[in-house]
Amino acid sequence: MGLRTLLLSTLVCSSLAMFSAPVQAESIDGRVVVVDFPFEDIQLKYVESRGGFAVHVNAKSVYVSGTKFYVGDGTVAVKLESTASKGIVFQGVTKLEHGFKFNKGEIITLLPGHKKASELKPGDVYLKLPLVFQEPKKASGN
């Protein structure tokens, strides 16, 4: 396991240790840190932090903060990041407002550019959220 992944894994695990509900933060094959969120609504906040702005992703019992994550259901990986000019950016194009909420079980239509979870690189942080991700419906041509 690389030093960066080990340090990130330790940081995430240490940050999550204060919550009473069981939270899973682990490294799969020494590659990607995975935080498995419980079946709860997820709220996003855009906050100023050291060196820029960060996204706080939290449920009732889990809290993670950073500038770039991948989110998904265990099979897909969609980028969620903070930028100084746009705020919270989801799927590379959608700007989300401070306080935006994903409802547990919500269906998210995937936009082009998403990855498979298995394609993530060492050091990436993957948030497994209680959402349903689906490909867009194809228009039927007549």
Q: Can you give the pLDDT at residue 30?
A: 62
User: Which residues pair with residue 101 across a beta bridge?
Assistant: 43
Can you tell me the distance from the alpha carbon of 16 to that of 121, in angstroms, rounded to the nearest whole number? 22
Q: Which of the pair, 31 or 121, is modelled with greater confidence? A: 121
* Backbone torsions φ then ψ of 4, nearest 5 degrees: -60, -45
Q: Mean of the per-residue pLDDT values for the chain? A: 80
The pLDDT score that the predictor gives to residue 48 is 82
Q: What confidence tens digit (pLDDT) does each residue in 81-113 have?
A: 998 888 899 998 889 998 999 999 999 999 988
* Span 3-19, pLDDT tens digits: 333 333 333 443 433 33
Buried b (16+ CB within 10 A) or exposed e, 62-95: bbbebeebbbbbeebbbbbbbeeeebbbbbeeee
CB proximity list for 29: less than 8 A, separation 6 or greater: none
The residue that leads in pLDDT, 30 or 27, is: 30
